[in-house]
């Protein structure tokens, strides 16, 4: 599973999301939107953060801890 956290360099919510990824034990990479205008265009991103999972836009907003836990729990059930 490939998880991309798409943020601007000034996005203060990124630290909380990264903490939650670590607590969930999932690997992720951070991509700065300033460096990836192609991702902005492809996914029509208007705000930071956004989270891509396996190339699919999973979150277009900063998810709550519960939203993230529920999302990954559902992914595990499907696999």
Tell which CATH architecture fits domain 3-78.
3-Layer(aba) Sandwich (3.40)
Please write the tens of the pLDDT for every residue from 19-71. 999 999 999 999 999 999 999 999 999 999 999 999 999 999 999 999 999 99
Residues facing 59 on adjacent strands = 51
- Whether pLDDT at 10 is above 90: yes
Q: What is the pLDDT of residue 79?
A: 60
């Amino acid at each position: 599973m490939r998880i991309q956290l798409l943020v601007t360099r000034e996005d203060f919510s990124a630290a909380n999301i990264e903490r939650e990824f670590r607590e969930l034990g999932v690997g992720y990479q951070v991509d700065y939107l300033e460096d990836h205008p192609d991702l902005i265009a492809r996914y029509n991103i208007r705000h930071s953060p956004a989270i891509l999972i396996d190339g699919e836009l999973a979150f277009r907003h900063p998810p709550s801890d519960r939203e993230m836990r529920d999302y990954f729990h559902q992914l595990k059930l499907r696999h």
